[in-house]
Amino acid sequence: MLAPLWLDRGWARAAWWVWLLAGSAATVLAGVVLLGWLVPPLGRVFPAWWLLMQPNVAVSVLALGVSLLARRLWVSVPLVLVAFLLAGSALVGRDSEPGTLETVLDVGVVSASQGVMAVQSAWWIICACILALLVVLLPGQHVLISLATLFVVMFTAVLVIANLLSAGSLLGQSKVQITSPMSSVTFMLLTTSWVAAWMRWGAWRPVLERGIAAVSLRWLIGFSLVVPLFAAVTWQAMVDVAGWAAAVATAVAVSLVLVAALAGSALLFRRMRALEGSVRRQAVTDETTGLLNQGAYWQFGSAVLQQAARAEQQASIIVYDLDGLKQVNDQYGHEEGTKLLVCFATALRAATRGADLVARIGGD
């Protein structure tokens, strides 16, 4: 499907690929992990940290991934309900006797890390299921879907950053208490795919539009994603690795954020100024010849005539008409006619001074 004219085709195409690749990667990873649990000889070949992702989490991610990629009501709703039931069963059955859906995926001991779905994972899957149902059942509720998407993004960021900051301790904790690194990766991929899909087909399309506002928005989104993560990792490194006091590490991290904000603002300003210059040039330039267009001729020409009148000087206006241009177009095609116009415009620029106004005010 072609992107609307007001969308930047490059960014629209990139969003489509991000939706497809991120959703596919999450689905494939979950499928591979589930296969490792179901086929013990294969599971023993995997790195140990892969199988920290529990089989019910893998099934839930697999269902959510397929529903996201399918984008069909009759496919998405049943799969999302499966994931919702698994996550809900994990929460309800945590304090009860076995007999819930947790036991359905008790596929045998492949790894010493096998256990029940982590609380954080279960809640994330429930939130993701609600978002998926809103998208397929209430596609017109843009505000509600946007709020749900932002909440899932926030939830995912918490899980991913927690794993990045404390990966060593997370691997050593009880599997009932924490979300595994592999689960966090698949959650991040699914969230990325949802955001890309909502940009491509939903209410966040302005991010993919052309123009200065859309460029500014893309810069701000990138800044808001990178800088907080950089500050958090830096703070953790200063406290755990360098042994700095928490107050000093906080001061340094905040200072780095301020410097990054100033640098980002300067880069954004330069980008905005370049775009404004490009827009101004497009507004006054004839697309075919590169000369001033008719509107610019009247605007700048009137100013030159007024200036000459105030200085009591003379100004000349020379108008050229290309005879036979229509015959060239009819006989040789419009492409050759365009070449003729470009050649004549080049000759005019070469024969005039830099202070002279050279414009195209008609068809030839």
Identify whether the C-beta of residue 233 lies closer than 8 Å to the C-beta of residue 256: no
The answer to whether residue 2 is domain-embedded is: no
**Are residues 310 and 232 part of one domain?**
no
pLDDT bracket for residue 361 (50, 70, 90):
confident
d(CA 297, CA 356): 11
**Are residues 146 and 26 part of one domain?**
yes
- Name the domain boundary from 283, 318, 342: 283
Give me the pLDDT at residue 177, please.
56
Give me the pLDDT at residue 107, please.
44
Percent of the chain at pLDDT > 70 equals: 86
Give me the pLDDT at residue 30, please.
93
Give me the pLDDT at residue 241, please.
78
The contacts of residue 249 (CB under 8 Å, 6+ apart) are 234, 235, 238, 239
Give me the pLDDT at residue 109, please.
43
Mean residue pLDDT across the chain: 80
d(CA 311, CA 213): 42
d(CA 231, CA 168): 19
Tokens at residue 269, please?
Answer: 């300003």
What total number of domains does the chain contain? 3
**Are residues 260 and 122 part of one domain?**
no
Q: Which domain holds residue 326?
A: 294-351
Give me the pLDDT at residue 94, please.
57
**Are residues 56 and 83 part of one domain?**
yes
pLDDT tens for residues 39-66?
Answer: 878 777 877 767 678 888 999 999 999 9
**Sign of torsion over alpha carbons 93, 95, 99, 105:** positive
Closest CA to 276 of 211, 210, 221: 211
Tokens at residue 85, please?
Answer: 């039931």
pLDDT at 327 > cutoff 90: no
- Cα(first)–Cα(last) distance of the chain, in Å? 37
Conformation bin of residue 278: beta by default, left when phi > 0, alpha when psi is -120 to 50: alpha
Identify whether the C-beta of residue 60 lies closer than 8 Å to the C-beta of residue 42: no
Give me the pLDDT at residue 104, please.
45
- Name the domain boundary from 244, 260, 283: 283
**Are residues 193 and 131 part of one domain?**
yes
User: What one-character DSSP code corresponds to residue 319?
Assistant: -
Q: Which of 85-99, 168-182, 198-212 has the lowest mean pLDDT?
A: 168-182
**Are residues 321 and 254 part of one domain?**
no
**Are residues 203 and 168 part of one domain?**
yes
Give me the pLDDT at residue 342, please.
86
Give me the pLDDT at residue 307, please.
84
**Are residues 148 and 32 part of one domain?**
yes
pLDDT tens for residues 175-194?
Answer: 445 678 888 899 999 999 99
pLDDT tens for residues 270-280?
Answer: 877 887 777 77
pLDDT at 284 > cutoff 70: yes
- Name the domain boundary from 283, 310, 326: 283
pLDDT bracket for residue 247 (50, 70, 90):
confident
Give me the pLDDT at residue 111, please.
44
pLDDT bracket for residue 10 (50, 70, 90):
confident
**Are residues 129 and 27 part of one domain?**
yes
Identify whether the C-beta of residue 194 lies closer than 8 Å to the C-beta of residue 68: yes
pLDDT bracket for residue 152 (50, 70, 90):
very high
**Are residues 34 and 151 part of one domain?**
yes
**Are residues 270 and 315 part of one domain?**
no
The answer to whether residue 150 is domain-embedded is: yes
Of 113 and 336, more confident: 336
d(CA 197, CA 15): 7
d(CA 180, CA 232): 20
Within 73-140, residue ranges assigned H as helices are 73-92, 119-137
The answer to whether residue 361 is domain-embedded is: no
CA distances from 227 to 216, 220, 260, 262, 308 (A): 16, 10, 7, 12, 55
pLDDT at 130 > cutoff 90: yes
pLDDT at 3 > cutoff 70: no
Identify whether the C-beta of residue 341 lies closer than 8 Å to the C-beta of residue 322: yes
The answer to whether residue 156 is domain-embedded is: yes
| Residue range 142-157: mean pLDDT, rounded | 89
**Are residues 175 and 134 part of one domain?**
yes
Crossing angle of the two packed helices 325-332 and 334-351, in degrees rounded to 10: 140
| Residue range 182-207: mean pLDDT, rounded | 86
Identify whether the C-beta of residue 64 lies closer than 8 Å to the C-beta of residue 227: no
Closest CA to 20 of 205, 225, 200, 208: 200
pLDDT bracket for residue 92 (50, 70, 90):
confident
The answer to whether residue 129 is domain-embedded is: yes
pLDDT at 2 > cutoff 50: no
pLDDT at 166 > cutoff 50: yes
The answer to whether residue 358 is domain-embedded is: no
pTM (predicted TM-score):
0.69
